Structure 1
Amino acid sequence: MIRIAVFSDVHANLPALRAVLTDLETRGINQYYCLGDLVDFAPWGNEVIELFRDKKIPCLLGNHDERIAFDSPITPLPHHDKIETENRMLAIDYSKRVITYDNKQWLAQLPFQIELVFKLGESLKRILLVHASPRHNDEYIHESYPTDALLAMLGDKKPDALLMGHTHQSYSKHSDVLLVNCGSVGRSKETDRKATYCLLTISEAGILPEIVKVDYDLDYVAAAIYNSPIPDFYGDFLLQKWAVTL
């Protein structure tokens, strides 16, 4: 039996990331992977990246990481209203200005996907890690997304499990392939706002997912946002002063 953890969408929230890493250490989990989006929305973008670099945590290139690494244009999202669009542009522009050149270069070399293969006795278990979907790092695969359409994206790949992030909402679905969204460490859209990750138990019999939620000091992070050039909008989000846009 092997236990690994997969998490996603830290979004520069260093206290939330530290809470998750402490929880993993307490559980004795020393193999873990991140699905990307280390930057934007909280004040610790450089510190989060440097922690990943120091600990050599395997990580994918999220859509926010890609935008910061390559200075891609900020395009409005159709599901955001005018207020969220304006604040999102300000927050991302702040990251573009403050993330260091070296950290941008590090983000730029992150992979798009990682495939893990575990041998347990005579059985091979394959786990595909993506940020958003198997074909794009900026595609929303919510729990209601048609399973057949998602599996079709895999093409010739035949994983036993597909692990995703990007939506900031965790779930697991059992079909021909185990489908798991790990939720978000630093900017959860779930009502408890806790730092969320997925713990996988891998055995010859199969792969069992557990969605884990970890407490951290939301008030501290919100106060840090309020005391930074990042729009107060994102502190208000953590403290649930406005409704979530899916």
Structure 2
Amino acid sequence: MIQIAVFSDVHGNLPALEAVLADIGKRGIRQKFCLGDLVDFAPWGNEVIEKIRTLNIPCLMGNHDERIAFDIPVIPLSKHSEEETEARFIAIYHSKKDITEVNKRFLSELPFHLKLNYKVGKKHWNVQLMHSSLASNDMYLYESENDDVFIHMLEESQSDIVVMGHTHLSFKKDFKTKGWAVNCGSVGRSKEENRLASYLILTLDEEQVIPEIVQIVYPVEETVRGIEESGIPDYYAAFLKNEKISAF
């Protein structure tokens, strides 16, 4: 049996990342992978990057990482309220100023996809990791998406399981003989009602793949305080506290 942990969308939330890494460590899981979006919306972007670098955790390039690494302009999104649009511009501009050149270079060199192959007994398992999809790191694929979209991704990547993040909403879809599609949720900016830090454990044995979404408590008040004491809009503190804010 092999176990791997996959997490995504830390978004500068160091207390949440540390809680997730501690939980993974307590379980004795040594294989760890990150699907990207290390920066924006909480004040520890540099510290998060440096922890991923120091621990040598393989990490993909999320859309926020790409924007900060290459100074890509921020474009308003139609799904955002006027309040969130304004907050988003300020928060991302804060990262563009705050992230060090060394860390921007690290982000610029991250891979786009990562395909893993594990051998358990006589069985080989192919695991496709991506930030949001095979074609883009900025495509929103929710659980409600047509099953054919995920089945095509499994077939295109020739994988037994595809794992993604980006939407900040976890799900598991079992397509039986065709494989699994899993979203591991978000470590640092969950959009789920409980706002807990979320990650995925994959258990591989000779017979099957078992995906488990793990959601854990972290000191959200520490993150809230950090946001309120930084140049990041309080919008993101209210979001983590699950207070009433404009639709996201």
Question: TM-score, normalized by length of structure 2?
Answer: 0.96
| Inter-partner Cα distance in structure 1 for 2:220 and 2:134 | 32
Name the counterpart of 1:26: 26
Partner of 2:206: 204
Q: Does 1:229 align with 2:225?
A: no
Q: How far has the Cα of 1:152 moved from its partner?
A: 2.4
The answer for the alignment partner of 1:107 in structure 2 is 107
| AA aligned opposite 2:194 | D
- Alpha-carbon distance change, 14 to 219 in structure 1, aligned in 2, over 3 angstroms: same
Query: Displacement of 1:122 after TM fit?
Result: 1.8
Alignment-derived partner of residue 9 in structure 2: 9
**1:135/1:153 contact within 8 Å kept:** no
Which residue in the other structure is 1:37 paired with? 37
Cα distance in structure 1, aligned partners of 2:76 and 2:86: 9
Q: How is 1:140-179 mapped onto 2 (pairs within 5 angstroms)?
A: 140-153=140-153, 156-175=156-175, 176-179=178-181
Post-superposition CA distance 1:211-241 (Å, at most 9, x none): 1011111111111101110000000000111
Q: Which residue is equivalent to 2:74? A: 74
Alpha-carbon distance, 1:81 to partner = 1.2
Tell me what 2:218 maps to. Answer: 216
Task: Output aligned runs, 1:50-69, within 5 Å.
Answer: 50-69=50-69
Amino acid at match of 2:184: C
1:46 aligns with 2:46: yes
- What CA distance in whole angstroms lies between the structure 2 residues aligned with 1:138 and 1:156? 19
Residue in 2 aligned with 1:116?
A: 116
Amino acid at match of 1:219: E
Equivalents in 2 of 1:121, 1:134: separation in Å?
Answer: 29
Q: Distance in 1 between matches of 2:153 and 2:27?
A: 34
Distance 1:11 1:132 in 2: 15
CA separation in 1, counterparts of 2:244 and 2:167?
A: 18
Q: Equivalents in 1 of 2:153, 2:204: separation in Å?
A: 24
Displacement of 1:30 in angstroms is 0.8
- How far the C-alpha of 1:156 sits from its partner, in A, is 3.6
* Structure 1 residues without counterparts, runs of 5 or longer: none
1:84 aligned counterpart, secondary structure: helix
Q: 2: distance between equivalents of 1:167 and 1:222?
A: 21
Aligned to 1:139: 139
Give the C-alpha shift of residue 149 in structure 1: 2.1
Q: Secondary structure at the match of 2:103?
A: helix
CA-CA distance at 1:157 after TM superposition:
2.0
Alpha-carbon separation, structure 2, partners of 1:20 and 1:244: 28
SS in 2 for 1:199: strand
- Number of aligned residues: 246
In 1, Cα distance between the equivalents of 2:246 and 2:213? 21
Task: Please report how far the alpha carbon of residue 194 of structure 1 lies from its aligned counterpart in structure 2 after TM superposition.
Answer: 0.8
1:232, 1:98 → 2: CA distance?
A: 17
Contact 1:3-1:202 within 8 A present in 2 as well? yes
SS at the partner of 2:157?
coil
**Contact conserved, 1:134 with 1:154, CA < 8 A, in 2?**
no
AA at the equivalent of 1:216: Y
Task: Give the aligned partner of residue 180 of structure 1.
Answer: 182
TM-score by length of 1: 0.97
Shift of residue 162 of structure 1?
0.3
Looking at structure 2, the residues matched to 244 and 125 of structure 1 have their Cα atoms a distance apart, in angstroms, of: 43
Q: Deviations over 1:46-103 (max 9, x none)?
A: 0000011111110000000000000001011121011111100100000000000000
Look up the SS of the partner of 1:57 in the other structure: coil
| CA distance in structure 2 between the partners assigned to 1:173 and 1:42 by the alignment | 30
